[in-house]
Chains A and B, each alone.
Chain A
Amino acid sequence: MRIHVYEAGGQSAVTHPDADGQQTLRGFIGIEVDERVYRVGDEVELDVDVTLIELFGDAPGHVIRHHCREVSVTAAYAGQERTVKAHVTAPVREVLDEILKAFELQGAAAADLVLRLPDSSTDLALGAPIGAFVSKGVCDLVVDLVHLVRPQG
């Protein structure tokens, strides 16, 4: 079975296309001390002693292993900063929405905005869990809220 695993600082998932469904999640992932495992998009901690097939059935598994439950995300925009809290499994899309609310940006003003790590030219993937962008050992994240440059001409 196919299992996608995110972890702190990994930014993108590692895909295991042929995982043995009879393995426990603990045996499959090799969880470190203080780490917890969650299904992406779900705040309930997974029982790591249950087999992969019991957890995910026939569907691909999508999990994140992380040392934090919640992260603090500070966004910089137009010389100001706002901080929001998010569960590590929350998709970037949800965090972006919360940050836009915190800056009181909506409608056309918000439509062009994306999140990026400082000094990066790559947008954070909206479907990825925010915890994947948090470095190991910390539970906070600094991002830039930037205007998308749309090619014209």
Chain B
Amino acid sequence: MEPDPAQPPVFDPCRRRFEDDLLGADVAAGLAAGLWRITGYAWPHVQVAFTAGDGNEFGMRLLVDGYPALAPAGQPWDLKANTLLPVDRWPVGGTAPQIFRKDWSVANSYAPYMACDRIALNGHPWATANPDRAWNPTRTLAFYLQQVHHELRAATIPAAQ
């Protein structure tokens, strides 16, 4: 999804950097490979549909203000209703329950328990203990998307009731 050309020119360096990365090759490659789709964008939020292991899509909304100094802050998102995704529709199977945790995540802004996510990274020593999985300002949106997609490769997405 392209940034809206009707919007005024971008002077916010965070937003400009984010929009460059949103249109970058790595995000496009994941799109072409069917790993994810960008379903909505209005600064400072972007909505993404990830393809899970069962072929169904799992939505997330990412807050990207402060990008890339700050990591994206993701939440499971109902892309149709445009609201937080209920916990009973979070991914199950594979490694997904270790990331979308019904204990920790619910108590922490619905954040995924990942070193690339702003909420989870804050308060954990992962930037130094797990640098290859952690966000740092040299990362791009594609890194975050790939980290989440990886955790969904063996997951199934419960159907809406």
Contacts and interface: CB of A to CB of B under 8 A. Distances in A.
Interface of A: 2, 4, 6, 12-15, 17, 40-41, 60, 62, 91, 93-94, 107-108, 110-112, 114, 121-123, 125-129, 148-151, 153
B23 A2 contact: yes
Interface in B94-132: 94-95, 98, 114-115, 124, 126, 129-132
Interface of B: 23-26, 28-33, 35, 94-95, 98, 114-115, 124, 126, 129-134, 142, 146, 149-150, 153-154
Contact of A13 (B29, B131, B146, B154): B29
B30 A127 contact: yes
B130 A110 contact: no
Contacts of A94: 33
Interface of A is mostly: loop
B89 to A, nearest CB: 20
Contacts of A13: 25-26, 29
Contacts of A111: 94-95, 153-154
16 contacts: A4-B24, A4-B25, A15-B23, A15-B25, A17-B23, A91-B29, A107-B154, A114-B150, A123-B146, A125-B146, A126-B35, A127-B32, A127-B35, A129-B29, A151-B129, A151-B134
